[in-house]
Amino acid sequence: MSLYRYQIERAVFFRVPGIKKINSIENGLGRITLFIGDENGNATKEIIDLARQVVEKNRPLGIQVIIEPFCNSPFPNKGLYELPEHIRRAHIFSATHSDIEFLVKSCIPNCVYFDLITVSGGVIHVYIV
């Protein structure tokens, strides 16, 4: 799961303007809470909404992400999550929403609409038209 935290934090940190503080915690199997904020640890509704969009497109399938203001973080002194050495050296691929969308649209002729939703237990519902 630490690889997922790493991916999600960096996707949001580098794609959502205005974020200066970020960290995350794992809440059991398949759930991550992401804390984001400005210099003071506050996050506007617009920043949280944009972060949700980025997470939805970049999160690994089967993982649910909850986004909260950084000021609610239980570890305000921690920053970006760093991967352990053994994971950094491994070659691991976790498919994201964008990856699956690209594969489906490339493999299914005349695919007009694609969406997927992660439901409880890591089950993924895929919708194709």
Q: What is the pLDDT of residues 28-65, one digit of tens each?
A: 888 999 999 999 999 999 999 999 999 988 888 788 99
- The pTM score is 0.67
Residue 38 DSSP symbol: S
Distance CA 77, CA 43 (A): 17
Parse the chain into domains and list their residue ranges: 2-72, 96-128
Alpha helices in 2-128, H assignment, sequence order: 2-15, 45-58, 85-89, 97-107
Q: How many CB atoms lie within 10 A of CB 61?
A: 15
Q: Is there a contact between 39 and 21 (Cβ–Cβ < 8 Å)?
A: yes
CATH class in words for 2-72: alpha beta
Give residue-wise pLDDT tens across range 61-89.
788 999 999 999 988 888 777 766 766 66
